[in-house]
Amino acid sequence: MREGGVITRNLRLDRRDIAYVKYILEGYEGLATVTTIPTCREAVVQLSIVPDFTSDVDGILEALKSEINMCEIGGGEKK
């Protein structure tokens, strides 16, 4: 989903991995911000991605999938 020039994507992952994903993505300053979305059943984070860096974030997420269990869920736009 695009909001004001920012692409948002939602990821479902284990609660214990939220801090790790946030640390990794925010370590690449300016690519994306990570926000947790409160739900009672599952851990969901929302990524706000600068459109120019979508492919970079895709690469990082692909690498993270080999380390942790996560999947993209509805509510996001993928280029």
Residue spans per domain, the chain: 2-73
Look at the alpha carbons of 72, 66, 50, 42 in this order and tell me if their dihedral is positive or negative.
positive
Which amino acid is present at 1? M
| 2-73 belongs to CATH 3.30.70 | yes
- pLDDT tens, 13-53? 999 999 999 999 989 988 999 999 887 678 999 999 999 99
Structure tokens at 60: 């990082």
Residue 79 pLDDT class (50, 70, 90 cuts): very low
Residue 76 pLDDT class (50, 70, 90 cuts): low
- Rounded to two decimals, what is the model's pTM? 0.81
Q: Does position 3 have pLDDT exceeding 60, yes or no?
A: no
Structure tokens at 18: 């939220």
Residue 2 pLDDT class (50, 70, 90 cuts): low
Q: What was the pLDDT predicted at 74? A: 78
